[in-house]
Structure 1
Amino acid sequence: MNFIRTGIIAMIATVAVIVAPLPSANAAAFYAWSIIDVPPGDTLNVRAWPSNQSQILVAYPNTTVLSMTGKCTGGVSLDHIAGWPAWKQRQAVRYQWCETWVDPYSTGEYRTAWIYGKYIEPA
């Protein structure tokens, strides 16, 4: 009986050690948002930092779907607002910069970049 109890405790401890280092589900979450409201024939600049003065890394037209990291300026988290109606999510990011993943040189080397919230909506 003591042997079985020791074996069960050892098994539980092993599982705890294996599972503990795994990241939370939110740590790897990505959010699909689309570019909207860019004038016809124009593109939206995606920038290195959250500023109109920042380097332009790439530009995309309307309907482009972006993979957002979930982080926006002003303390807005896409994870926090994900359950809200789409119009309310848009309002939450309207005057913020939000972080996205881009591959500016099409080399498979993705990096983070920033896009102004006025021009995106949940996809």
Structure 2
Amino acid sequence: MLIRLYLTAAALLYLWLAIYCTFAPQRASEIVHLERQGPGGYSEFLVIYGGLELAMAILFLLPWTNLLGDRQGLWIFVIIHAVLVIFRTVSFFMFGPLPSSTQQLAIGEWVLLIGGLLLMWLA
């Protein structure tokens, strides 16, 4: 049950991000220092920051159905966040120093990953 609750909390976070990025794209893109140029840039931001984050929210809720078990859902969560942490860490070396808002995102990604890993170890 603890795994489901953790994944649900993460799903709610990603649902909020999807809504925020969809309905306040100007502010959201400023926070992550991303310039949306022309219709293609606006479309890409909507798809990745709105659509992909919504898909992640839905995916993290699947253990509540009979489509995916708790441990499988947690594995998917950990894999996604491990990849995010790896790429974010590489970006610090490639492009650093990065703005504080990017550093805060990195901290959040690390916290989510560590929480998922702890649950894997405990459950």
TM-score by length of 2: 0.21
More strand by share: 1
TM-score by length of 1: 0.21
More helix by share: 2
Larger radius of gyration: 1
